[in-house]
A and B are shown apart, each in its own frame.
Chain A
Amino acid sequence: ELKVEQNPLFLSMQEGKNYTIYCNYSTTSDRLYWYRQDPGKSLESLFVLLSNGAVKQEGRLMASLDTKARLSTLHITAAVHDLSATYFCAVERTYKYIFGTGTRLKVLA
């Protein structure tokens, strides 16, 4: 059974600091997704990672995938207040999708 663990659950950080969110999963996967969700809003796709060693970057966010370790990371560089949101990873295997519990990020000025 595919299980996805995401940590930390909550993250409060100062503006300008760096931090990493971790997403571990239990079995092989076909794709790994990162999403952002603002309070009361829908999900916004950030990254889709397909293969081992994949790295994608958009602005202050960078996602990477290590399929051998079954680990994906979402790295935040020089955080700004606008990045405050909940971030989810999701793992796909044979067209079925399992989500992590989400990381609620709060960036303090």
Chain B
Amino acid sequence: DSGVTQTPKHLITATGQRVTLRCSPRSGDLSVYWYQQSLDQGLQFLIQYYNGEERAKGNILERFSAQQFPDLHSELNLSSLELGDSALYFCASSGGQEETQYFGPGTRLLVL
């Protein structure tokens, strides 16, 4: 158990819909990261937040947005969903100089 929690575990929805994925980092970690893992695109970095502020953006689509709240939990919002958005979405958190990232169990999203 990494100490990072993600909800929900599984999500099935239809094209065009909007969903919200939630992540609670390890206690004391200020950084939160979001990643997408799919068979065709592999592991992709989406976005990082540090202490409530966006620190870096990766391959995040404009239809996707995220935020980190004052209690440090984070949400990833996916809208106008397409079939190709079906993937595993991981959240990770880190703290300390080495920035070791601890991954949550993931949310498996299926868009039908």
Contact = CB atoms under 8 A, between A and B. Distances in A.
Interface of A: 31, 33, 41-45, 48, 50, 88, 90, 92, 94-99, 101-102
Contacts of B105: 41-42
B103 A43 contact: yes
A80 to B, nearest CB: 23
Interface in B40-60: 42-45, 48, 55-58
A48 B99 contact: yes
Interface-central residue, B43, B45, B58, B105, by most chain A CB under 10 Å: B43
B48 A95 contact: yes
B90 A42 contact: yes
Give the interface size class of chain B: 20 to 34
Interface string B71-108: 00000000000000000001010000011111111100
A90 B48 CA distance: 15
A98 B45 contact: yes
A6 B2 CA distance: 26
A33 B92 CA distance: 14
Nearest to B56: A95
Interface of B: 2, 33, 35, 42-45, 48, 55-58, 90, 92, 98-106
A94 B105 CA distance: 26
A31 B106 contact: no
A45 B45 CA distance: 15
A88 B105 CA distance: 17
Contacts of A48: 98-100
Contact of A102 (B2, B33, B42, B100): B42
Contacts of B48: 95
Nearest to A95: B56
Contact of A50 (B42, B92, B98): B98
A96 B56 CA distance: 6
Contact of A45 (B57, B100, B104, B106): B100
